[in-house]
Amino acid sequence: MSVTTITHPLVQHKLTLMRQKDRSTNSFRRLLHEIGMLMAYEVTREMPVQMIEIETPLEKMRAPVIDGKKTVFVVVMRAGDGFLDGMLEVVPGARVGHIGLYRDPKTLVAVEYYFKMPQDMHERDAIVLDPMLATGNSAVAAVDRLKETRPRSIRFVSLLAAPEGLAKFQAHHPDVPVYTAAIDRQLNDHGYIVPGLGDAGDRIFGTK
Ligand code: URA
């Protein structure tokens, strides 16, 4: 499996601001939006292009274009929603699927409550968006379920990852490349990433 840490200074700078506990909901959300755009640049690097005939003011030429409709962003609700806007700004033609999972607070196991994908997944490249790769339980469950639809390819994007979650994901889905902005020290007893940034969903939506 490949893990790509996106070390671009713009991403790292914005992530540092997001980690600060006194950052407002508005600012946290805006930063995640911006990081989404920047990470989309890296994640779509291998996106297939096709050559089309165009005319510049001077002459005809063949030039590359991407087919955005072949991309499906798969949002793991609800924190994944925060990533989506920025990604869509860069790939506006993309389709969007949703997977709803909640963590059982006692067992930390992922339980599915929603699943909706576009049709013809076998023709699409799926990019799963889940900002926190913590225990890995929901990431593994989301990709297990997504694989049932047989997308052409799958990539997984998180903002922050814990070593434990990465190891678990790697064990279950060695074929799925992971992109993240940072790999933090560890999980705490409640399954939170430390030092981390707290509960991503609560910080995006201002629910705490
Ligand atoms: N989910 C979060 O939002 N934060 C964590 O640290 C772990 C899981």
Instruction: Tell me how long the chain is.
Output: 208
User: Which tokens belong to 86?
Assistant: 């920025």
Question: What does the alpha-carbon distance between residue 72 and residue 200 come to, in Å, rounded to a whole number?
Answer: 22
Question: What does the alpha-carbon distance between residue 12 and residue 1 come to, in Å, rounded to a whole number?
Answer: 23
pLDDT score at 69: 80
Which residues are catalytically annotated? 103, 107, 199, 202
62 lies in a domain?
Answer: no
Nearest to 158 by CA among 137, 139, 185: 139
| Residue whose CB lies within 8 A of the most ligand 1 atoms, among 188, 193, 208, for a mutation test | 193
Q: What is the pTM of this model?
A: 0.93
Give the ligand 1 atom nearest the CA of 197. 6
CATH of the domain at 116: 3.40.50.2020
pLDDT score at 102: 83
Query: Containing domain of residue 73, as a range?
Result: 3-44+69-205
Model confidence pLDDT, tens digit, residues 88-141: 999 999 999 999 988 787 887 778 999 999 999 999 999 999 999 999 999 999
Tell me the backbone φ, ψ of residue 42, rounded to 5 degrees.
-75, -40
Average pLDDT over residues 23-43: 96
Model confidence pLDDT, tens digit, residues 143-196: 999 999 999 999 999 999 999 999 999 999 999 999 999 999 999 999 999 999
49 lies in a domain?
Answer: no
- The rounded Å distance from CA 199 to ligand 1 centre is 5
What Rg do the C-alpha atoms of the chain give, in angstroms? 18
User: Which tokens belong to 169?
Assistant: 């994901």
Q: How confident is the model at residue 85 (pLDDT cuts 50, 70, 90)?
A: very high
155 lies in a domain?
Answer: yes
pLDDT score at 1: 66
64 lies in a domain?
Answer: no
Q: How many CA atoms lie within 13 A of 135 on its CB side?
A: 17
pLDDT score at 40: 95
Per the structure, the count of domains in the chain is 1
Does the beta carbon of 80 sit less than 6 angstroms from any atom of ligand 1?
no
57 lies in a domain?
Answer: no
39 lies in a domain?
Answer: yes
